Structure 1
Amino acid sequence: MAKAPFITFEGGEGAGKSTQIRRLAAHLQTLGIDAVMTREPGGSPKAERIRALLLSGAAKRFGTLAEAVLFSAARIDHIDTLIAPALARGTWVLCDRFIDSTRVYQGASGDVDPRQIAILERVVAGDIMPDLTFILDLPPEVGLARAGARAGADSASDRFEAEGLAFHETLRAAFLAIAAAEPKRCVVIDATGDEEAVETAIWSAVVERLDVPDAAPAKVAHNDDGERGRRVTT
């Protein structure tokens, strides 16, 4: 069986990644395509414990290199436990953040040497690399306002949301730089529009880049509970 597509969603705080992952998963379900939704850091029991440590800010005092190593430790378990087995059995994987967030948050914004980030990436991810990456782009002040309005969605995300505007502007520039450097993998999506417009743009790119039928997103009920690691199938 051929390896299934691995799709990652990247972008700053409040860009709507988890919402669009749920919408894409629901659309794939209507086409009879098996998919699993997951996230980083997290996605597996051990990785979720590391997530709680990282996003609470408890690891911040050890520096960004230590954070990058912890993110990598979580990624190892996530890949071994969920991502690699799903892809091997032909299940699509839709992941909220992956290698690019480490490159941006701990690299470009955290000042970890890009060579160190690249070494961690090669050792941890190996050949488990995204086939398609959506970078949901919007002005950081808009994203932060959206994130602040998410009442109780994920209080742990305050670790990065609490950083200043300049930090988030650096994030945005770094994500766009990755997209420019890797156009075969990355697609920049204007995330300032409404959810339906963003969903349509994402689906158009999926049809263009991957082997799926061109069927417009159906009007389906979208679960907004933030669940991760959930398998979506018919």
Structure 2
Amino acid sequence: MTDGKPASPRFAELRSFIERRPWSVISWSAGLSAMAFIVFYGLQATTNPQVGIQFVQSEWPDPSIFPYFYAKPITWFAYFSFVYWAAGLESNKEHFLKFSPRARNMLFLVTALVAFASFYEIFYNFMVWLALEVLTTNCRPFPCNPDQVASIFDLRSPLNLVFATKIVTTAFGLSMYSLWFLHRVDVETERQNRTTKTVDMDVKAPMGNPVRKPIEIGARLVVQQPIDPTVDKT
């Protein structure tokens, strides 16, 4: 019977760590998964000169094993990267709350710049992608496979458009989540500041009353004291 046995110390420590820092566990797990896809498929040598083609021309897991649940390695990388970044921000929220307003504004500006640049690249890649699919007639078999279309403009090596588009889309998603996160931090900081000011005012307000109360009480006694008509005050 093992029902009454206590859990091992290592398991208890691991469980305690997960309960204390769940966002960190999620972030590092997703980050390691994204890194595994990059390393495994990045080291695969291909004869195709396209940059990023090895992340597009295969599927994981094997569709023959999981016919209804698979995706390209670059897609898995995008998903895990987003989870890594978002969970990492949430795990460090307390640190961001301690930043000065100027530092948070600078972070907001830089993040907005990344969002703007990646948003433009998304539209640019889709326009080039569509144009090449329509204009290209030398691919075999025809029509062209969209996964094999590459941009060759101003590049030493052709860049696979599926790979490039998912990379910039991931950057756009990360920047948008970061902007929303920084906005939440600003709102929470303002709420904490208002609460602190309210508490300070409540603490300081009674301090002035004891000085004024004796004067007010004395004035009321003088006003309320009855006047004796038999007493000649002259």
**Range into which the TM-score falls when normalised by the shorter chain:** under 0.3
Report the structure, 1 or 2, having the larger strand content: 1
Q: Which structure's CA Rg is the greater one?
A: 2
Larger proportion of helix: 2
TM-score by length of 1: 0.20
